[in-house]
Structure 1
Amino acid sequence: MEATRIIAVRHGETSWNVDARIQGQTDIALNDTGRWQARRVGEALATEPISAVYTSDLERAHETARSIGEVSGKEVIPHEGLRERSFGMFEGKTFDEIHQTWPEHAQNWRKRIPDWQPPEGGESLLELRERVLRTLHELAARHPGEQIVVVAHGGVLDALYRIATRQEVNAPRTWELPNGAINRLLWTPEGFTLVGWSDTQHLDEANAPADETSA
């Protein structure tokens, strides 16, 4: 089977990114900077051969994906499997607020305990990894020999990077996950291979976008 080329994009900036608030699966829209970033991503990919555009169904990702769909002429296809990690009761809070109120949970989070789940419906890192792996395999397998775009979130892309580079979910993160960055991978039935990561040349006219403080 021929490889599928994947362009993975993190959504544009939101007001909660700026405030370092945990978004998780709370549906937050892009801010003005995020909408500008989304347009720039679309322009950067305007000449790419794209067979399909898939996106998280959360608005910040979906709006980013629409900018790509408009220039590629492709319908934007939402997929719940691309949603951000669920952070349960911690969504809407900053890490400092969590640390002050629930220090034990904050330590588990900071140490990246693989099976720790945020209370009230949160996902563990292991659950997130399995969901990302299953979803990306499903989508990529539909397009052998073609190129697809996937628009998702910081936590999803972090999991995908670890999968492609064979790193554990609790390995220290040494790579960037800026809003609006373009990342490239290859997929075959044997797995994922990293091609390029964190390309932000198309965003050079703006101030550097916020990194993944709150996904």
Structure 2
Amino acid sequence: MNRIALLLRGLPGSGKTTTAALLRDSLVPAVRISNDSVRYMARPRDFSDFTLVASELGCLDLALSYLDSGFTPVIDGVFEDVDFLAAQQLRFQRKGMRLVTITLEGPLADLLDRNNARDPLARMDEDRVRELHRQFRPAGLLLGIHDKQPEEVADDVLDLLELTAQETETEPPATEDVDLLFLRHGAPDYPGDTYPDPYAMALSPRGRDEARAARAAVERFAPEVVYTSDFLRARETATLATAGLDAEVREETALRERVFHAFAGLDLNEVRRHLGPEADRVLTGNSDLCDLDGEESYEQARDRVLEFFAALTARHPGRRVLVVGHGGPHHWLLERALGAQLRGVRALRWDTGHLSRFRIGPDAVAVDFVNRSPEDIARSPQPAKEAP
């Protein structure tokens, strides 16, 4: 049942609440998400479009979060708008998950009898039930409830879920796009008066804290493949951020930051004499407009990085990939996503220990977000895809 959320919809009196509770107990680890309960937490608590749309969307957001944590959500509610449900099914699919909708159907007379037998506080106005019945449209899988006890309905739902899970297993991957989470290394321990040696410059204490702080977001993303630059600050970040994960960390020279290796260990005043007017830009991390004889050019570095990312869809189609690296490679991948030339322009922040997310296809790159903190990601529902 992994990566499947169940949405149980039907009119008042169709037994959604009891059936959903039974299913939650059968699908452990699972969570029941009641639309009525979510709506009840807000004011106003009416049945206006404003409150219904907000509560239904809240239920599905909560379901995504629980799915991402390994639970099977069982959502119950009326969910009258089938167009809304179709859009949500597509939303789940794009996140590598599946929303299975089951509509409980019963005769109006049965529904009215069941509704009248409910606790007065939970009972719906009879005219409202009749109105819903007139305009209620089926969606997803249909399941008749006439003359059935909730336990029987729950068993029928489990049978339908089993068939759905089997269909999911035999379906081809929905996409070959690579889902890529890009983590910037933690703050490095810069030498005070010399140009840093990238193979020797480790993380600072703050940088190690940032790498450890990224672990929760990385665990939630659940990468199937991990790549890191072979520069020390990136390797240390990858080791700390993936600690406890069953994932091999692969060092990749193509992910290196562009640096001037001949300057490693050289006094900064001497570096400034060599670089002239470009010194301040280079020493603060932007060497885009500076080329030196015997060193990798800007174009060579950019091509190196983009060739690596372009090859990912062939290497890891449809997989989740974590990359731990630097500002330059991130900048060039962002350029590719935006279809822009940004040489020398570093207007978009990407802080140490922060993350960006991309979708990389055979012919295009899309960006989901840039420069989000691990804390923000760990608190929000994240798209994650079941490993094949």
TM (norm. structure 2) is: 0.46
- SS in structure 1 at match of 2:216: helix
In angstroms, what is the RMSD of aligned CA positions? 2.9
Runs of 4+ in 1 over 6 A off after TM superposition: 93-97
Larger Rg: 2
Give the number of the structure whose residues are more often helix, by fraction: 2
- Give ranges in structure 1 of 5+ residues lacking alignment: 204-215
1:12-23 matches, cutoff 5 A = 12-16=186-190, 23=196
Query: Which residue is 2:360 aligned to?
Result: 187
Q: Deviations over 1:136-188 (max 9, x none)?
A: 22234322212110011122212222222222252522101211111100101
Tell me, yes or no, if structure 1 residue 118 matches structure 2 residue 292.
yes
> For residue 15 of structure 1, what is the amino acid of its counterpart?
D
Tell me, yes or no, if structure 1 residue 6 matches structure 2 residue 154.
no
Query: Which residue is 1:83 aligned to?
Result: 256
Q: Deviations over 1:3-50 (max 9, x none)?
A: 11100111111121x859754744311111111111111122222231
Query: Which residue is 1:173 aligned to?
Result: 346
What percentage of residue pairs aligned between the two structures are identical? 28
Residue 21 to residue 133, structure 1, CA distance change in 2 (3 Å): farther
- SS in structure 2 at match of 1:70: coil
Contact 1:38/1:64 (<8 A) preserved: yes
1:87-106 matches, cutoff 5 A = 87-92=260-265, 98-103=271-276, 106=279
Q: 2:200 aligns with which of 8, 27, 34?
A: 27
> For residue 14 of structure 1, what is the amino acid of its counterpart?
P
- Give ranges in structure 2 of 5+ residues lacking alignment: 1-174, 377-388
Residue 93 to residue 167, structure 1, CA distance change in 2 (3 Å): farther
RCO higher in structure (CA 8 A, sep ≥6): 1
- SS in structure 2 at match of 1:198: strand
- SS in structure 2 at match of 1:13: coil
Query: Which residue is 2:227 aligned to?
Result: 54
Contact 2:176/2:313 (<8 A) preserved: no
> For residue 138 of structure 1, what is the amino acid of its counterpart?
A
Q: 1:159 aligns with which of 332, 346, 351?
A: 332
Q: Deviations over 1:101-128 (max 9, x none)?
A: 5315549967943xx5234x42222111
